[in-house]
Amino acid sequence: MITHCAVLDAQTASFPDSTRSCPGCDLRRARLFAAELVGADLRDADLYWANLKRADLRGADLREALLDSADLRGARLDSVDLREGVLQGADLRGAFFKGADLRDADIAEADWQNAVLTGAVWVDGRVCGGGSVGRCK
């Protein structure tokens, strides 16, 4: 398990299976462009202003994670657990949230333009229907 993560300037970061656990890590302003973080345990991690553009976070555990002002444009967040996460001001344009759990997340001022939300569980507990792009229908 990772207890302190110092990946701050990686063009493409990859966490091997044995080190995909980093709950509570301080990753503020980390440059994780196109990072392969499938299934990562990032519960309660601080990803404030992190660059996760085009990162693959499918199936990751991001419960209570701080992603305020993070750049997640084009990121894969399918089946991610973001319950009670903070996404204030996050750039989520074009990100994929199919099947993600966003219950009780703080999404104030987040940019959802062209984000795919089909099948996601929205902040209020309802499931986003087919064709949910940019907003939960």
- Listing DSSP states for 35-77 in one string gives -B-TT-B-TT-B-TT-B-TT-B-TT-B-TT-B-TT-B-TT-B-
Distance CA 111, CA 86 (A): 13
Query: What are the angstrom distances between the C-alpha of 13 and each of 20, 86, 99?
Result: 12, 23, 24
Higher pLDDT, 122 or 19: 122
In this prediction, residues 12-36 reach a mean pLDDT of: 77
In this prediction, residues 6-12 reach a mean pLDDT of: 46
Query: What are the angstrom distances between the C-alpha of 4 and each of 16, 24, 56, 62?
Result: 15, 9, 21, 17
Distance CA 76, CA 1 (A): 23
Provide the mean pLDDT of the chain.
89
CATH of the structural domain 1-137, one choice from 3.40.50.150, 2.60.120.560, 2.160.20.80, 3.40.50.880:
2.160.20.80
| Residue 81, pLDDT above cutoff 90 | yes
Distance CA 77, CA 80 (A): 5
pLDDT digits (tens, 9 = 90+) for 90-113: 999 999 999 999 999 999 999 999
Domains of the chain, by residue range, sit at: 1-137
| Residue 10, pLDDT above cutoff 90 | no
